[in-house]
Amino acid sequence: MALAYVSVNRKYFEIIYDSIKSVRDLSFILALTDGTVLARHPQQNNDVSDQRMPANSPWYDAIAQGGGSFVTPGVFGGQARLASTRPLQGFPLAVSVSTSVDIAFARWRTQAIVLALGGSVFVACSLFLLVVAGYVMRSLATSEASLQDKSESLEHSIAERAAMEKRLVQSQKLEAVGQLTGGIAHDFNNLLLVVIGNLDLLRDTVPQGSPELDLIESSLTAALAGSELSNSLLTFSRQHAFKRETVDSKTILGTRCACSGAPSAER
């Protein structure tokens, strides 16, 4: 009769549990790296001595790579599950955790619905802003034409006044366009911030290599391009370009503190 004694740091399991305890419908398997199942929770029967990981299971590939995630058809539960396994360093043991695919992707589906609703609101707001911009531009064009007709009728008698009025109208037009452009770009940038944030969070929940990740990456790239466009519009509305430069905040703060703390010449 032989007795095997294995000791594992409890903190190792606490870290794993803290990272997965918010997920429902979990099952745990403790197995040897050769596929022999030593313990399973929840247990389906009291005897696990004859249970082994299937020979063609991706579990073996994950063990060979030092751990990883994969989709299993559910050998012990008969239901497709999303599994993650990790070998214990220095021991021929591996811990596997799995949950059903529906529960694992429930959060992703919720975020996708929220993102779709947010996108619809964004499109509606954009169309509304475009309609308002077109109306304002037509109003400005009509006002300019009316003032131009009046200027031509009085051109011979009050040429100087007509020229001043024309310059004033042009200035008002540019100011109105600049304010409108800045307002649209600001609202557009705020909406893009929500889209980019949700896409970034959604990207962290999707496994690497999945087709959904490619869609998320392309959407995030397009949203960032839109943000750059809105920044360009904001630059136009402010009538000056942004100047990007590297600033040493430590040097600036040190100079400020030295100036505020130094005694004055009068003292």
Overall residue count recorded for the chain in this entry: 267
At a CB cut-off of 8 Å and minimum separation 6, what does 112 contact?
Answer: 202
d(CA 242, CA 230): 13
Q: 79-124: per-residue pLDDT in tens? A: 677 788 888 888 888 888 887 777 767 767 787 888 888 888 888 8
pLDDT of residue 8: 62
Mean pLDDT of the chain: 76
d(CA 94, CA 68): 11
At a CB cut-off of 8 Å and minimum separation 6, what does 106 contact?
Answer: none
Burial class (CB in 10 A: 0-12, 13-18, 19+), 26: middle
Reported as a pLDDT band with limits 50, 70 and 90, residue 143 is: confident
pLDDT of residue 247: 64
75: which 2 tokens? 């050998």
The helix (run of H) or strand (run of E) holding residue 128 is: helix 106-153
Q: 159-187: per-residue pLDDT in tens? A: 777 677 888 888 777 777 777 777 787 78
d(CA 83, CA 246): 46
Structure-token match 């559910």, residue found: 74
Average pLDDT for 62-77: 76
Reported as a pLDDT band with limits 50, 70 and 90, residue 22 is: low
Reported as a pLDDT band with limits 50, 70 and 90, residue 45 is: low
Domains of the chain, residue spans: 11-104, 106-242
CATH code for the part of the protein at 11-104 = 3.30.450.20
Q: 205-238: per-residue pLDDT in tens? A: 888 878 888 888 888 899 888 888 877 777 766 6
